[in-house]
Amino acid sequence: MPEFSTLSDKELASLLKRGEVGAFEAIYNRFWSKLLNAAYKRLRDEAVCQEIVQDVFIKLWEKREILTFTVGLENYLLVAVRYNVVDIYRKQVVKDKFEIMVNHSEYDNSTSDQIFTRDLAKYLSKLVESLPGKCKNVYQLSRLEHKTHREISEILNISEKTVQGHLTKALQIIRSGMADALTLLIIFLLK
């Protein structure tokens, strides 16, 4: 078995395509910091940047058999991070436009607003409760109790990378569920 950390990017990419876990770990260790720094230069939000990089590595592993690295492994990963950063910006623009629309709409019934806010909070609570066990624990410790990844890893006796993975999964599930709720809200407001 080769010492993966000494292999070239091209050799690692070839081994990755064959499903070699050691090659994936070497790629992860080699590029994690560089990708995180690239995302952080643009977003200045470490938690979001960690999610982006984690997502890039998850997709790298999931699609390893069909990927081609014509621009080289490092450039491929950096471009993937850039696309995710652009996607974050795009979603933020949509969110900002939505907030402006809601804030300036004629729909200003405080009772209805309170009911909607309460219902949305209930919906979010249901989404959190539906999360798988560790994901739910990590999400609650991170978002509700404001614990750092290190604190969570110590409390749950798991690695910080595992904390990041669980948090990423939890946030994906919640975002997906909340997107459905926001779509219904937009339809409701446009009627």
pLDDT at 109 exceeding the cut of 60: no
% of the chain beyond a pLDDT of 70: 87
User: Quick one: pLDDT at residue 12?
Assistant: 94
User: Quick one: pLDDT at residue 143?
Assistant: 85
Of the candidates 119, 100, 103, the residue with the CA atom closest to the CA atom of residue 111? 119
Lowest mean per-residue pLDDT among 17-31, 82-96, 99-113, 120-134: 99-113
Give pTM, 2 decimals: 0.52
Output the CA angle 146-135-170, nearest 5 degrees: 80
Query: Which position has the higher pLDDT, 88 or 113?
Result: 88
% of the chain beyond a pLDDT of 90: 49
Segment 12-41 shows an average pLDDT of 95
Of the candidates 95, 96, 103, 93, the residue with the CA atom closest to the CA atom of residue 189? 103
Domain 1-104 in CATH 3.30.420.40: no
Segment 105-124 shows an average pLDDT of 69
User: Quick one: pLDDT at residue 103?
Assistant: 65
CATH numeric code, 107-191: 1.10.10.10
User: Quick one: pLDDT at residue 108?
Assistant: 52
User: Quick one: pLDDT at residue 90?
Assistant: 83
Evaluate the CA torsion angle 98, 100, 105, 107 in order and state its sign. positive
User: Quick one: pLDDT at residue 191?
Assistant: 53
Query: Which position has the higher pLDDT, 21 or 108?
Result: 21
d(CA 110, CA 155): 41
Highest mean pLDDT among 35-39, 123-127, 129-133 belongs to: 35-39
Query: Which position has the higher pLDDT, 190 or 44?
Result: 44
Of the candidates 177, 173, 164, the residue with the CA atom closest to the CA atom of residue 47? 164
Within the chain, all domains assigned CATH 1.10.10.10 are found at 107-191
Of the candidates 15, 20, 12, the residue with the CA atom closest to the CA atom of residue 74? 12
Within the chain, all domains assigned CATH 1.10.1740.10 are found at 1-104
Residue at token pair 């490092």: 74
Of the candidates 30, 25, 26, 24, the residue with the CA atom closest to the CA atom of residue 63? 24
